[in-house]
Amino acid sequence: MRGIGRYSLALAKAIVRNAGGNEVWIVLSDLFPDSIEQIRETFAGIVPDERIVVFSLPQFAFYQDPGNWRVRAATLIREHAIAEIEPDLVHISSLFEGYVDQSISSVKALDAHTLVSVTLYDLIPFLNPAKYLADAGMRQHYFGKIDALKRADLLLAISAYCGEEAVRELGIGRERVTNISSAASDNFVARALTAQVREAVLARYGVSRRAVMTAGIVEPRKNLEGLIAAYSKLPATQREQHQLFMVCQPQELSRIRLLEFAASCGLAPDEIVLSGYVTDDDLVALYQACELFVFPSFHEGFGLPALEAMACGALVVASSATSIPEVIGREDALFDPHNTQQMADLMQRALTDEDYRESLRAHAAVQAAKFSWDATGQRAVRAFEQAFAKRNERDLSRFPPPDKTRRYENLLNALTDLDAVPTDADLIASADAIALNRRSGQRRQLLVDVSILADHDARSGIQRVTRAIFQQLHSACRSGWTVRPVRLDRGAMAYRYANAFLNESAPGSEFACDPDEWLDTQPGDVFLGLDLVADRIPDAIAWFGMQRRRGVKVYFVVYDLLPVLRPEWFHEGIARVFPPWVETITTVADGLVAISRAVADNLQDWLVRHKPKRERSLRIGYFHLGADIGNSQPSTGLPDNAADTLAAIRSRPTILMVGTVEPRKGYVQAVAAFEELWASYVDVNLVIVGKAGWGVDELVPQLARHADANKRFFWLQGISDEFLEDIYASSSCLLAASLGEGFGLPLIEAAQQRISIIARDIPVFREVAGDHAFYFTGDTASDLASAIQSWLALFAAGTISATTLPWLTWQQSAKQLEQVIYDGEWYQTWCPK
């Protein structure tokens, strides 16, 4: 980040910290998508997300094209988008950008009502046009910005000199200029530095002797040649003990030029060192490690490197030009930058006069403490308040600002009046941007993904959850919100409203008869990935990124991580699509909501191990599932032999297993255990309710043609929810033999019917069932057979009572989910750095 970027960010944070009763909004452009997440994270917890607004602009091919209609349109669209917030004052952190990038800034190009403040860093190009504005296009751009600067209601100058320069050179009234000064970042502080660390950091950049240091960009006003010439005038005995160390990143031609100039001054190659790139941490150490810091600049807006050096405890001597004396605060530490002999004499004194050195060291600490970002922020806020009060006092009879409709009309009229001729593509891009910037004031939307369910209800466990949770969220919508089902359009990899699904699941409700239009989102909306669309979510990553940049919160429900943690338990297709899905949701989501604490812990462990690339912290929550089948739109219907089946189940103790027949569910171990029991003449039924899944090619024929089928063994596939409830009620016990689960919904369904539970001793079952289950361990048939025999003995003795395991209704389950996504009751936060 450049110096202006650092200053802008630090000032914004200081304004927020010192805003008092004022409301601060952060406004960002979507033409810089890579910075948006980082800025949101920077202001997380101090500026509410809804007050960080991203406006949309038509992309353009930079300012250099003088006939660029889009640049002019973007200027108007930006001011309109900001005016939609109805601010009292807009502060522009950097007005002069935009010639070589897609920055757009303007002052009263469309909105003449709102107060505008601008940070003024310097007028160096204005005062030196031959050096900085030789390019005609750049000159036109810069002087256009000067005209805009003159229209500003308030200038926040970064030094008193800079402010006086604006008054003197631009004719701006002194009452419109406030010196807010500057400060060093918090990391620029003196720390304990051992001799070993000091030598190591200097050696890292090629310095082998004591360092006379400077820092800054390579350009004429920095007077680096003057410093080289002055250094060459030091006595040879001094130069033998020191090296001139320039912390800079010169281009190759500049590097050669500086080294050739040093040679022409009589300096040996080892007497001057150019650092190249230096990290912030190393820069702090280098400031502390140097023998002397010299700042020789001809012209500065402030002179931050000198302040940073003093804040780190360095001895500093500097130029007496422009704003630099404000920073140094000491006459006898200044030299005329045009007088190399004077510069050399002061350096010699600072290197050899111990009393002077000690006084410089003491002064550095006192002077650096006079500058702080909080003081700068307080000055800025005070200037804003005074400008607002003056405007209101001066313009008591002023007409009120235009309303939303009038603002829109003003924008369209201004676009029509542009003299350049737009193409159809220009008009479409601008219309899209204007539509995206619209602040409708409508209810916030909870956008619930039902993509798979809307396409086909396969009655799987996840679809039962999706159906039940959506029904509860929709039927008990919070005030100020609307709950909308949405589905992924697999052609466009973007989301539509699932209104056709809504018409089927909640006929007569709002929007149910509308077509499945594209989503119209607003900042503050929430996307909830309730349905599992693992195979296509990675392809929609660009859509999710765009929505997050707009201020839409993106959350996903995570049912389990088993296909990632134990891929051998799953079909190759599932094992293949899950890792990219997990990578994607941990990258694009604001929060992940697991269906159990165990899954949430698995997520945290996965994040720690894999460290997905993201700027913002990722929140992790969890909720528990409900079990009232009656409130999940249950399927109905009984088979013709239902009565006979139920009678057979009730005729002896019956152990029930519920779930798709697949390797991780423990069916192989269970069937083998029951065959051992039956071989030992144990009178017990085994009932399996679940369709055949993947990886059980040997087991399925065994089940289908079992010798005890429909006698002591029952395999029921594709039955209705109504019949399943009857099966639960007729059974003695549920066997949960799964090797891994996200939750274990059958445990809750069994508890609802007050039947006992035998469960494998795994964390998620302990979380769900607690002390209300009989747990077993071991992977062999004999291990499980022994556990079942122990349970049967207790059952026969009457010491196994009906379970009192508490369970949630789907309404209560949805409330737990709402407490996470609406109320922010998160379980953990993973920080990427």
What are the DSSP calls for 97-152, one per residue? --SSSS----SSSS--SSEEEEEE---HHHH-HHHH--SHHHHHHHHHHHHHHHH-
pLDDT of residue 459: 66
Secondary element (H or E) of residue 482: strand 481-489
3-class secondary structure, 72: helix
The Cα–Cα gap between 807 and 344 comes to 82
Q: Which fold has domain 454-626?
A: Rossmann fold (3.40.50)
Q: Note whether 245 and 292 are within 8 A (CB).
A: no
Task: Give pLDDT tens digits for 518-567.
Answer: 999 988 999 999 999 999 999 999 999 999 998 999 999 999 999 999 99
Q: Note whether 202 and 275 are within 8 A (CB).
A: no
pLDDT of residue 699: 93
The Cα–Cα gap between 796 and 794 comes to 5
> Number of helices (H) and strands (E), helices first, in the chain?
34, 26
Task: Give pLDDT tens digits for 430-441.
Answer: 999 999 998 877
Closest CA to 537 of 584, 475, 572: 584
Least confident of 91-100, 348-357, 401-410: 401-410
Q: What value does the mean pLDDT take over residues 412-416?
A: 95
3-class secondary structure, 736: strand
Q: Which fold has domain 3-181+401-417?
A: Rossmann fold (3.40.50)
Output the furthest CA–CA distance in the chain (Å, rounded): 111
Closest CA to 89 of 408, 391, 398: 391
pLDDT of residue 807: 87
pLDDT of residue 66: 56
How large is the angle between the packed helices 304-311 and 280-289, nearest 10 degrees?
Answer: 70
Q: What is the DSSP letter of 93?
A: S
The Cα–Cα gap between 121 and 156 comes to 9
Cα 705 to Cα 693, 702, 717, distances in angstroms? 17, 5, 14
Ramachandran sector of residue 568 (left: φ over 0; alpha: ψ -120 to 50; beta: rest): alpha
Q: What value does the mean pLDDT take over residues 653-659?
A: 96
Q: Note whether 628 and 464 are within 8 A (CB).
A: no
Residue type, 399: F
Q: Note whether 742 and 595 are within 8 A (CB).
A: yes
Closest CA to 691 of 662, 660, 658: 660
The Cα–Cα gap between 815 and 472 comes to 9
Q: What value does the mean pLDDT take over residues 638-663?
A: 94
Q: What percent of the chain has pLDDT over 90?
A: 83
Q: What value does the mean pLDDT take over residues 422-447?
A: 91
The Cα–Cα gap between 560 and 570 comes to 13
Confidence of residue 75 (pLDDT cuts 50, 70, 90): very high
Secondary element (H or E) of residue 157: strand 154-157
The Cα–Cα gap between 827 and 594 comes to 10
Q: How many CB atoms lie within 10 A of CB 723?
A: 20
Does residue 618 carry a pLDDT above 80?
A: yes
Closest CA to 670 of 681, 685, 691, 683: 685
pLDDT of residue 50: 87
pLDDT of residue 631: 58
- E strands, 530-601, are 553-558, 591-594
Tokens of 71: 């640049």
Ramachandran sector of residue 649 (left: φ over 0; alpha: ψ -120 to 50; beta: rest): alpha
Q: Note whether 160 and 182 are within 8 A (CB).
A: no
Q: What value does the mean pLDDT take over residues 666-678?
A: 97
Q: Note whether 582 and 592 are within 8 A (CB).
A: no
* CATH C-level class of 637-807: alpha beta
Architecture of the CATH domain 195-371: 3-Layer(aba) Sandwich (3.40)
3-class secondary structure, 162: helix
443 burial class (0-12, 13-18, 19+ CB within 10 angstroms)?
middle
Which residues are registered as beta bridge partners of 246? Answer: 214, 274
Residue type, 101: D
Which residues are registered as beta bridge partners of 211? Answer: 243
Q: What value does the mean pLDDT take over residues 86-101?
A: 93
- E strands, 165-315, are 177-179, 210-215, 242-247, 272-274, 292-295
Give me the half-sphere count of Cα atoms (radius 13 Å) on the Cβ side of residue 248.
Answer: 23
Closest CA to 418 of 788, 66, 97, 173: 66
Does residue 481 carry a pLDDT above 80?
A: yes
Q: What value does the mean pLDDT take over residues 775-792?
A: 97
The Cα–Cα gap between 458 and 473 comes to 21
Q: How many CB atoms lie within 10 A of CB 663?
A: 18
- 642-650: list long-range contacts, CB under 8 Å, 24+ apart: 642/723, 642/726, 645/710, 645/714, 645/716, 646/726, 646/727, 646/730, 648/685, 648/710, 648/711, 648/714, 649/685, 649/687, 649/714, 649/727, 649/730, 649/731, 650/730
Residue in the structure block whose two tokens are 């040997």: 698
Closest CA to 132 of 217, 257, 70: 217
The Cα–Cα gap between 465 and 460 comes to 9
3-class secondary structure, 312: coil
How large is the angle between the packed helices 3-17 and 373-394, nearest 10 degrees?
Answer: 70
pLDDT of residue 499: 96
Does residue 283 carry a pLDDT above 80?
A: yes
Confidence of residue 89 (pLDDT cuts 50, 70, 90): very high
The Cα–Cα gap between 746 and 544 comes to 34
Q: What value does the mean pLDDT take over residues 479-490?
A: 96
Tokens of 385: 């308040």
230 burial class (0-12, 13-18, 19+ CB within 10 angstroms)?
buried
pLDDT of residue 752: 86
pLDDT of residue 398: 56
Q: Note whether 579 and 617 are within 8 A (CB).
A: no
pLDDT of residue 456: 83
Q: Note whether 36 and 523 are within 8 A (CB).
A: no
Does residue 65 carry a pLDDT above 90?
A: no
Residue 86: φ, ψ to 5°: 60, 55
The C-alpha angle with vertex 559 and arms to 553 and 563, in degrees rounded to 5, equals 115
Secondary element (H or E) of residue 495: strand 494-497
Q: Note whether 640 and 669 are within 8 A (CB).
A: no
Q: What value does the mean pLDDT take over residues 129-143?
A: 93
Confidence of residue 392 (pLDDT cuts 50, 70, 90): confident
Q: How many CB atoms lie within 10 A of CB 350?
A: 20
Does residue 658 carry a pLDDT above 70?
A: yes
Secondary element (H or E) of residue 464: helix 461-475
Residue type, 817: L
Length reported for the chain: 833
Which residues are registered as beta bridge partners of 573? Answer: none
pLDDT of residue 463: 87
The Cα–Cα gap between 477 and 207 comes to 67
pLDDT of residue 458: 67
pLDDT of residue 633: 62
Q: What value does the mean pLDDT take over residues 70-81?
A: 95
CATH 3.40.50.2000 region(s) of the chain? Answer: 195-371, 637-807
pLDDT of residue 63: 58
Does residue 571 carry a pLDDT above 90?
A: no
The Cα–Cα gap between 438 and 80 comes to 10
Q: What value does the mean pLDDT take over residues 23-44?
A: 93
Task: Give pLDDT tens digits for 689-742.
Answer: 999 988 898 999 999 999 999 999 999 998 998 999 999 999 999 999 999 999
